[in-house]
Protein backbone atom coordinates (compact mmCIF):
# COMPACT_ATOMS: atom_id res chain seq x y z
CA UNK A 1 0.00 0.00 0.00
CA UNK A 2 1.22 3.50 -0.67
CA UNK A 3 1.88 5.63 2.39
CA UNK A 4 -0.54 8.20 0.97
CA UNK A 5 -3.53 5.85 0.71
CA UNK A 6 -2.84 4.46 4.19
CA UNK A 7 -2.77 8.02 5.54
CA UNK A 8 -6.11 8.74 3.91
CA UNK A 9 -7.56 5.54 5.37
CA UNK A 10 -6.22 6.32 8.85
CA UNK A 11 -7.72 9.82 8.59
CA UNK A 12 -11.08 8.47 7.46
CA UNK A 13 -11.07 6.02 10.36
CA UNK A 14 -10.29 8.85 12.80
CA UNK A 15 -13.42 10.67 11.58
CA UNK A 16 -15.35 7.61 12.79
CA UNK A 17 -13.66 7.68 16.20
CA UNK A 18 -11.29 4.84 15.28
CA UNK A 19 -7.72 5.57 16.34
CA UNK A 20 -5.21 3.45 14.43
CA UNK A 21 -1.76 3.37 16.01
CA UNK A 22 0.05 1.59 13.20
CA UNK A 23 -0.78 1.88 9.48
CA UNK A 24 -0.25 -1.87 9.30
CA UNK A 25 -3.34 -2.48 11.45
CA UNK A 26 -5.48 -0.68 8.88
CA UNK A 27 -4.34 -3.07 6.16
CA UNK A 28 -4.76 -6.14 8.38
CA UNK A 29 -8.31 -5.11 9.35
CA UNK A 30 -9.53 -5.71 5.80
CA UNK A 31 -8.26 -9.29 5.87
CA UNK A 32 -9.98 -10.29 9.12
CA UNK A 33 -12.31 -13.29 8.98
CA UNK A 34 -12.88 -13.82 12.72
CA UNK A 35 -13.80 -11.38 15.48
CA UNK A 36 -13.44 -12.45 19.11
CA UNK A 37 -15.43 -10.31 21.54
CA UNK A 38 -15.08 -10.02 25.30
CA UNK A 39 -18.51 -9.88 26.96
CA UNK A 40 -18.39 -7.51 29.94
CA UNK A 41 -17.75 -3.90 28.92
CA UNK A 42 -17.38 -4.83 25.26
CA UNK A 43 -20.73 -6.31 24.18
CA UNK A 44 -22.39 -5.10 27.38
CA UNK A 45 -22.22 -1.63 28.89
CA UNK A 46 -19.92 -2.76 31.70
CA UNK A 47 -22.09 -0.99 34.26
CA UNK A 48 -23.63 -3.90 36.12
CA UNK A 49 -26.40 -3.40 38.68
CA UNK A 50 -27.38 -5.60 41.60
CA UNK A 51 -30.63 -7.38 40.72
CA UNK A 52 -31.00 -9.83 43.62
CA UNK A 53 -29.75 -10.32 47.17
CA UNK A 54 -30.34 -13.79 48.56
CA UNK A 55 -28.91 -14.38 52.05
CA UNK A 56 -28.43 -17.95 53.31
CA UNK A 57 -30.55 -19.10 56.30
CA UNK A 58 -29.73 -17.10 59.41
CA UNK A 59 -28.03 -14.27 57.51
CA UNK A 60 -29.68 -10.87 57.01
CA UNK A 61 -29.70 -8.94 53.76
CA UNK A 62 -27.77 -6.08 55.41
CA UNK A 63 -25.12 -8.48 56.69
CA UNK A 64 -24.68 -10.04 53.24
CA UNK A 65 -24.40 -6.63 51.60
CA UNK A 66 -22.10 -5.14 54.26
CA UNK A 67 -19.64 -8.02 54.04
CA UNK A 68 -19.71 -7.99 50.23
CA UNK A 69 -19.17 -4.22 50.11
CA UNK A 70 -16.33 -4.51 52.63
CA UNK A 71 -14.57 -6.91 50.26
CA UNK A 72 -15.29 -5.01 47.05
CA UNK A 73 -14.26 -1.56 48.31
CA UNK A 74 -10.66 -2.28 47.24
CA UNK A 75 -11.51 -3.84 43.87
CA UNK A 76 -11.59 -2.05 40.53
CA UNK A 77 -13.80 -4.62 38.83
CA UNK A 78 -17.13 -3.31 37.42
CA UNK A 79 -18.90 -5.93 39.56
CA UNK A 80 -17.44 -4.25 42.66
CA UNK A 81 -18.97 -0.91 41.73
CA UNK A 82 -22.43 -2.49 41.48
CA UNK A 83 -22.18 -3.85 45.02
CA UNK A 84 -20.79 -0.63 46.51
CA UNK A 85 -23.54 1.40 44.86
CA UNK A 86 -26.39 -0.63 46.33
CA UNK A 87 -24.72 -0.72 49.77
CA UNK A 88 -24.49 3.08 49.70
CA UNK A 89 -28.09 3.45 48.49
CA UNK A 90 -29.28 1.37 51.41
CA UNK A 91 -26.97 3.01 53.95
CA UNK A 92 -25.34 -0.31 54.72
CA UNK A 93 -21.94 0.02 56.34
CA UNK A 94 -18.97 -1.72 54.70
CA UNK A 95 -17.54 -4.38 57.02
CA UNK A 96 -13.90 -4.13 57.98
CA UNK A 97 -11.48 -6.65 56.63
CA UNK A 98 -7.74 -6.81 56.02
CA UNK A 99 -5.30 -8.40 53.59
CA UNK A 100 -7.48 -7.79 50.55
CA UNK A 101 -6.66 -9.80 47.42
CA UNK A 102 -8.28 -9.80 43.97
CA UNK A 103 -8.00 -13.09 42.09
CA UNK A 104 -8.39 -12.49 38.38
CA UNK A 105 -11.40 -14.29 36.93
CA UNK A 106 -12.34 -15.70 40.34
CA UNK A 107 -13.28 -13.00 42.83
CA UNK A 108 -12.02 -11.20 45.91
CA UNK A 109 -10.95 -12.33 49.38
CA UNK A 110 -9.84 -10.81 52.69
CA UNK A 111 -9.35 -11.71 56.34
CA UNK A 112 -11.78 -10.83 59.11
CA UNK A 113 -10.53 -11.88 62.54
CA UNK A 114 -9.72 -15.58 62.27
CA UNK A 115 -11.87 -15.99 59.21
CA UNK A 116 -11.39 -15.75 55.45
CA UNK A 117 -14.15 -14.01 53.53
CA UNK A 118 -14.56 -14.72 49.83
CA UNK A 119 -16.86 -13.28 47.18
CA UNK A 120 -16.74 -14.69 43.69
CA UNK A 121 -17.85 -17.34 41.29
CA UNK A 122 -19.03 -20.86 41.97
CA UNK A 123 -16.05 -22.66 40.51
CA UNK A 124 -13.61 -20.82 42.76
CA UNK A 125 -15.65 -21.07 45.99
CA UNK A 126 -16.32 -24.77 45.43
CA UNK A 127 -12.61 -25.34 44.89
CA UNK A 128 -12.13 -23.71 48.32
CA UNK A 129 -14.50 -26.31 49.81
CA UNK A 130 -17.65 -24.19 50.13
CA UNK A 131 -20.95 -26.07 49.74
CA UNK A 132 -23.22 -23.88 47.60
CA UNK A 133 -26.06 -26.37 47.06
CA UNK A 134 -28.45 -24.42 49.32
CA UNK A 135 -28.16 -21.42 47.00
CA UNK A 136 -28.58 -23.38 43.76
CA UNK A 137 -32.15 -22.29 42.93
CA UNK A 138 -31.40 -18.63 43.58
CA UNK A 139 -28.24 -18.81 41.45
CA UNK A 140 -30.10 -20.50 38.57
CA UNK A 141 -32.76 -17.79 38.62
CA UNK A 142 -30.05 -15.13 38.45
CA UNK A 143 -28.17 -16.66 35.52
CA UNK A 144 -31.29 -17.48 33.52
CA UNK A 145 -32.07 -13.76 33.75
CA UNK A 146 -28.69 -12.97 32.09
CA UNK A 147 -27.24 -12.04 35.49
CA UNK A 148 -24.03 -13.19 37.15
CA UNK A 149 -24.32 -14.93 40.54
CA UNK A 150 -21.62 -13.94 43.06
CA UNK A 151 -21.34 -16.14 46.11
CA UNK A 152 -20.24 -14.95 49.54
CA UNK A 153 -18.60 -17.35 52.00
CA UNK A 154 -16.97 -17.15 55.41
CA UNK A 155 -14.41 -19.97 55.46
CA UNK A 156 -16.36 -22.96 54.11
CA UNK A 157 -19.77 -21.56 55.04
CA UNK A 158 -21.99 -20.07 52.31
CA UNK A 159 -23.55 -16.75 53.43
CA UNK A 160 -25.53 -15.85 50.32
CA UNK A 161 -25.61 -15.05 46.64
CA UNK A 162 -25.83 -11.67 44.92
CA UNK A 163 -27.14 -11.29 41.37
CA UNK A 164 -25.48 -8.66 39.22
CA UNK A 165 -26.66 -7.94 35.69
CA UNK A 166 -25.42 -5.83 32.85
CA UNK A 167 -27.28 -4.65 29.74
CA UNK A 168 -26.03 -5.08 26.22
CA UNK A 169 -25.11 -1.81 24.49
CA UNK A 170 -27.91 -0.43 22.31
CA UNK A 171 -26.04 -1.06 19.06
CA UNK A 172 -24.16 -4.29 19.85
CA UNK A 173 -26.70 -6.49 18.11
CA UNK A 174 -26.73 -4.34 14.94
CA UNK A 175 -22.92 -4.30 14.84
CA UNK A 176 -22.75 -8.08 15.20
CA UNK A 177 -25.29 -8.51 12.38
CA UNK A 178 -23.08 -6.28 10.19
CA UNK A 179 -20.02 -8.39 11.03
CA UNK A 180 -21.87 -11.54 10.01
CA UNK A 181 -22.96 -9.79 6.78
CA UNK A 182 -19.30 -8.94 6.15
CA UNK A 183 -18.60 -12.69 6.22
CA UNK A 184 -16.98 -12.60 9.65
CA UNK A 185 -17.14 -15.44 12.18
CA UNK A 186 -18.08 -13.93 15.58
CA UNK A 187 -16.97 -15.56 18.85
CA UNK A 188 -17.73 -14.41 22.42
CA UNK A 189 -15.30 -15.05 25.30
CA UNK A 190 -16.07 -14.50 28.95
CA UNK A 191 -15.01 -15.44 32.43
CA UNK A 192 -18.68 -15.54 33.30
CA UNK A 193 -20.67 -18.76 33.76
CA UNK A 194 -22.30 -20.57 30.82
CA UNK A 195 -25.95 -19.70 31.49
CA UNK A 196 -25.31 -15.96 31.94
CA UNK A 197 -23.02 -15.94 28.90
CA UNK A 198 -25.61 -17.73 26.74
CA UNK A 199 -28.34 -15.29 27.78
CA UNK A 200 -26.24 -12.30 26.68
CA UNK A 201 -25.11 -14.08 23.48
CA UNK A 202 -28.73 -14.73 22.56
CA UNK A 203 -29.55 -11.02 22.97
CA UNK A 204 -26.51 -10.06 20.90
CA UNK A 205 -27.12 -12.63 18.15
CA UNK A 206 -23.97 -14.70 18.76
CA UNK A 207 -23.92 -18.51 18.47
CA UNK A 208 -20.32 -19.30 19.33
CA UNK A 209 -19.60 -18.80 23.03
CA UNK A 210 -16.71 -19.75 25.31
CA UNK A 211 -17.71 -19.29 28.98
CA UNK A 212 -15.73 -19.85 32.22
CA UNK A 213 -12.59 -18.65 30.43
CA UNK A 214 -9.82 -17.65 32.83
CA UNK A 215 -7.98 -14.44 31.89
CA UNK A 216 -4.83 -16.37 30.92
CA UNK A 217 -6.85 -18.57 28.55
CA UNK A 218 -8.33 -15.72 26.51
CA UNK A 219 -5.03 -15.27 24.65
CA UNK A 220 -4.75 -19.04 24.12
CA UNK A 221 -8.12 -19.13 22.35
CA UNK A 222 -7.00 -16.29 20.07
CA UNK A 223 -3.71 -18.12 19.30
CA UNK A 224 -5.55 -21.35 18.60
CA UNK A 225 -7.81 -19.64 16.05
CA UNK A 226 -4.75 -18.12 14.37
CA UNK A 227 -3.08 -21.54 14.29
CA UNK A 228 -6.16 -22.79 12.43
CA UNK A 229 -5.37 -20.19 9.78
CA UNK A 230 -7.98 -17.61 10.80
CA UNK A 231 -7.27 -13.87 10.63
CA UNK A 232 -8.33 -12.86 14.11
CA UNK A 233 -9.39 -9.60 15.74
CA UNK A 234 -9.83 -9.39 19.51
CA UNK A 235 -12.05 -6.70 21.00
CA UNK A 236 -11.81 -6.01 24.73
CA UNK A 237 -11.77 -3.42 27.48
CA UNK A 238 -10.20 -4.96 30.57
CA UNK A 239 -6.78 -5.66 32.06
CA UNK A 240 -7.61 -9.34 31.64
CA UNK A 241 -8.09 -8.84 27.89
CA UNK A 242 -4.61 -7.34 27.35
CA UNK A 243 -2.73 -10.57 26.48
CA UNK A 244 -5.48 -11.60 24.03
CA UNK A 245 -5.44 -8.12 22.42
CA UNK A 246 -1.68 -8.44 21.92
CA UNK A 247 -2.00 -12.01 20.57
CA UNK A 248 -4.54 -11.10 17.87
CA UNK A 249 -3.77 -10.01 14.27
CA UNK A 250 -5.60 -6.81 15.18
CA UNK A 251 -6.46 -5.80 18.75
CA UNK A 252 -9.34 -3.35 19.22
CA UNK A 253 -9.52 -1.68 22.65
CA UNK A 254 -12.72 -0.09 23.85
CA UNK A 255 -11.84 3.60 24.41
CA UNK A 256 -13.61 3.73 27.76
CA UNK A 257 -11.67 0.66 28.92
CA UNK A 258 -8.51 0.35 30.98
CA UNK A 259 -5.16 1.86 29.93
CA UNK A 260 -3.54 -1.57 29.85
CA UNK A 261 -6.04 -2.76 27.24
CA UNK A 262 -5.50 0.38 25.14
CA UNK A 263 -1.72 -0.03 25.25
CA UNK A 264 -1.97 -3.68 24.16
CA UNK A 265 -4.19 -2.96 21.16
CA UNK A 266 -3.30 -1.50 17.78
CA UNK A 267 -6.68 0.22 17.37
CA UNK A 268 -8.74 2.17 19.94
CA UNK A 269 -12.49 2.67 19.54
CA UNK A 270 -13.19 6.13 20.96
CA UNK A 271 -16.97 5.65 20.70
CA UNK A 272 -16.82 2.37 22.64
CA UNK A 273 -19.21 0.90 20.07
CA UNK A 274 -18.73 -2.36 18.17
CA UNK A 275 -19.79 -0.49 15.03
CA UNK A 276 -16.19 0.80 15.09
CA UNK A 277 -14.96 -2.72 14.28
CA UNK A 278 -17.19 -3.07 11.20
CA UNK A 279 -16.35 0.52 10.15
CA UNK A 280 -12.63 -0.25 10.38
CA UNK A 281 -13.05 -3.42 8.32
CA UNK A 282 -15.07 -1.50 5.69
CA UNK A 283 -12.58 1.38 5.50
CA UNK A 284 -9.68 -1.03 5.28
CA UNK A 285 -11.26 -3.03 2.49
CA UNK A 286 -12.01 0.18 0.56
CA UNK A 287 -8.46 1.50 1.12
CA UNK A 288 -6.86 -1.70 -0.08
CA UNK A 289 -9.17 -1.77 -3.14
CA UNK A 290 -8.07 1.78 -4.05
CA UNK A 291 -4.42 0.78 -3.81
CA UNK A 292 -4.71 -2.14 -6.22
P1 LIG B 1 -15.22 -10.99 31.89
O2 LIG B 1 -14.41 -11.91 31.01
O3 LIG B 1 -16.70 -11.22 31.67
O4 LIG B 1 -14.82 -9.53 31.73
P5 LIG B 1 -13.72 -11.50 34.42
O6 LIG B 1 -12.65 -12.42 33.89
O7 LIG B 1 -13.29 -10.14 34.82
O8 LIG B 1 -14.99 -11.43 33.42
O9 LIG B 1 -14.40 -12.19 35.67
C10 LIG B 1 -14.90 -13.48 35.57
C11 LIG B 1 -15.71 -13.84 36.79
O12 LIG B 1 -14.88 -13.82 37.97
C13 LIG B 1 -16.85 -12.90 37.08
O14 LIG B 1 -18.00 -13.19 36.33
C15 LIG B 1 -17.03 -13.13 38.59
O16 LIG B 1 -17.78 -14.28 38.79
C17 LIG B 1 -15.61 -13.35 39.09
N18 LIG B 1 -15.02 -12.08 39.57
C19 LIG B 1 -13.99 -11.39 39.01
N20 LIG B 1 -13.71 -10.28 39.73
C21 LIG B 1 -14.61 -10.22 40.74
C22 LIG B 1 -14.88 -9.30 41.83
N23 LIG B 1 -14.17 -8.18 42.02
N24 LIG B 1 -15.90 -9.59 42.66
C25 LIG B 1 -16.62 -10.71 42.49
N26 LIG B 1 -16.44 -11.60 41.51
C27 LIG B 1 -15.45 -11.38 40.65
MG1 LIG C 1 -14.39 -7.01 30.00
Q: Which domains does the chain have, with CATH numbers?
A: 3-45+168-291 (3.40.50.1000), 49-165 (3.40.1110.10)
Which residues line ion ligand 2, judged by CB < 5 Å?
Answer: 38, 40-41, 237-238
Global pTM value: 0.88
What's the chain's average pLDDT? 94
Q: How far apart are CA 56 and CA 117, in angstroms?
A: 15
Q: Is ipTM strictly over 0.85?
A: yes
pLDDT-derived band at 176 (thresholds 50, 70, 90) equals very high
Mean pLDDT of the region 138-162: 95
**240-267: per-residue pLDDT in tens?**
899 999 999 999 999 988 899 999 999 9
CB 48 near ligand 1, within 6 Å: no
Q: Find the 140 Cα to ligand 2 centroid distance in Å.
A: 22
Neighbouring-strand partners of residue 108: 102, 119
CB 143 near ligand 1, within 6 Å: no
Residue 288: pLDDT over 80: no
pLDDT-derived band at 1 (thresholds 50, 70, 90) equals low
- Of 125, 112, 127, the C-alpha closest to 153 is 125
Catalytic machinery residues: 38
Mean pLDDT of the region 31-43: 96
**Nearest listed ligand to the Cα of residue 106:** 1
Coil/strand/helix, residue 162:
strand
**101-118: per-residue pLDDT in tens?**
999 889 999 999 999 999
Amino acid sequence: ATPMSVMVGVGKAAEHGILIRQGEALQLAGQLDTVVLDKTGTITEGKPRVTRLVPADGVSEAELLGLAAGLEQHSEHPLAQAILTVADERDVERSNSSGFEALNGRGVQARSGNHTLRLGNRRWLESEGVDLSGLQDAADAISNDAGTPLFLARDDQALGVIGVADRIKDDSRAAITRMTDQGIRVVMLTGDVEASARAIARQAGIDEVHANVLPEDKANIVRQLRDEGRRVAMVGDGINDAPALAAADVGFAIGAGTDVAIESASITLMRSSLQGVTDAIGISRATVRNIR
